[in-house]
Amino acid sequence: MRRPPLLNSVAVLFVFLLSSADVVSGAKAGPAFPRDNYVAGWVRSERTLRFERSNLFDYIDGGAELFLEFGFDVLLVQRYKESNAKGDDEIALEIYQMESAEAALGIYLTKCGKETPVGGIKERNSGDRYQFSIVKGDCFIQVNNFGGDGKLMPVMLKLTQRTLASIPKGPPVTLLSRLPEKDFISGSGLIFRGPYALQSIFTFGSGDVLQLRGNVFGVTGDYAGPEGGVYTRLLILYPEPKAALSAFENLSNNLDPYLEVVSRLENGFTFRDYRDKFGTVELKNDVMEIKINLPEKPETTER
């Protein structure tokens, strides 16, 4: 994560009034950073940094693509230090404003791993003494203390609480409820919106083979299979049946060479992968349902 160098040149500060012009332009009121001394002695150590789509790479040296794919809007960064302290302890607050609450939750789930909630934070979160990750509304927030001093946990907590108070709750995200409940393994749900997020799950082909195009969400989760096995189900939620069909045909035409079609179904096909595991692709109106990591060839109605 970058901290831009302090330059000798005199920088110009822009002061923006939240005017009706902002509303007209589509800008929304965003989160507010806690003032100096939000905890006694803790003050902002540098100016606020702001990153947009065009220069997010300036801050994230590797991995920015994932944020962009999910629908990144603005990143604001504010660092805090303890005034008059001899040490170099520093806490960095990062607020990633995403296009939607779905996008924010998607990034959060991708980043948080096995959730270990921090006490004292009401919103969905995971963290430890190094880093808190929180999702609220259309914001994904990280509070970093890469020095790792556990004594700073209360300071991190206060900073988090104060920041969250300024962020609207946002609408509930229902995407994951599209996954069937039966045999679903709790905690395994993820959201994706493009090939980068999909990479961690499975490779179906090169590029955007599922035609997600940065605006089609998909959800995935693990399911308990027979004899203790686990398979993975993906649902890609296209806006209309035509888009789903187009994506299906594109997938069929450009299926990854390490996948072998073994049978044709009435509305899809079954494949075998390079590990001798099986998968199915089925088109169901405007949804493409894919199952992977099946230990046996599924018993389906073949054409």
User: Hey, which residues between 58 and 97 contact other proteins (CB under 8 A)?
Assistant: 58-63, 65, 73-74, 76, 78, 95, 97
Contact 288, 248 (CB under 8 A): yes
Contact 285, 244 (CB under 8 A): yes
Residue 165's H or E segment, with its range, is helix 153-165
CB closer to other proteins, 108 vs 217 = 108
Tell me, rounded to whole angstroms, the distance of Cα 202 from its chain centroid.
17
**CA distance linking residue 290 with residue 212, whole number of Å:** 14
Q: Which of 37, 83, 215, 246 binds other proteins (CB under 8 A)?
A: 246
Residue 222's H or E segment, with its range, is strand 218-224
**CA distance linking residue 251 with residue 55, whole number of Å:** 32
Q: Which of 39, 42, 51, 118 binds other proteins (CB under 8 A)?
A: 51
Q: Which of 41, 154, 226, 261 binds other proteins (CB under 8 A)?
A: 261
Contact between 147 and other proteins by CB under 8 A: the answer reads: yes
CB closer to other proteins, 17 vs 227 = 17
Contact between 280 and other proteins by CB under 8 A: the answer reads: no
User: What would the two tokens of residue 191 be?
Assistant: 């959201």
Distance in Å, CB of 189 to other proteins, minimum: 12
Tell me, rounded to whole angstroms, the distance of Cα 105 from its chain centroid.
6
Q: Which of 20, 54, 174, 301 binds other proteins (CB under 8 A)?
A: 54
Which stretch, 101-109, 151-159, 171-179, 246-254, contacts other proteins (CB under 8 A)?
A: 246-254
**CA distance linking residue 111 with residue 136, whole number of Å:** 14
* Strand, coil or helix: 103: helix
Q: Which of 13, 182, 186, 227 binds other proteins (CB under 8 A)?
A: 13
Distance in Å, CB of 300 to other proteins, minimum: 14
User: Whose CA is closest to 66, among 57, 76, 77?
Assistant: 57
Q: Which residues inside 120-139 make contact with other proteins, applying CB under 8 A?
A: 126-128, 130-131, 133
Contact between 6 and other proteins by CB under 8 A: the answer reads: yes
Contact between 55 and other proteins by CB under 8 A: the answer reads: yes
Contact between 40 and other proteins by CB under 8 A: the answer reads: no
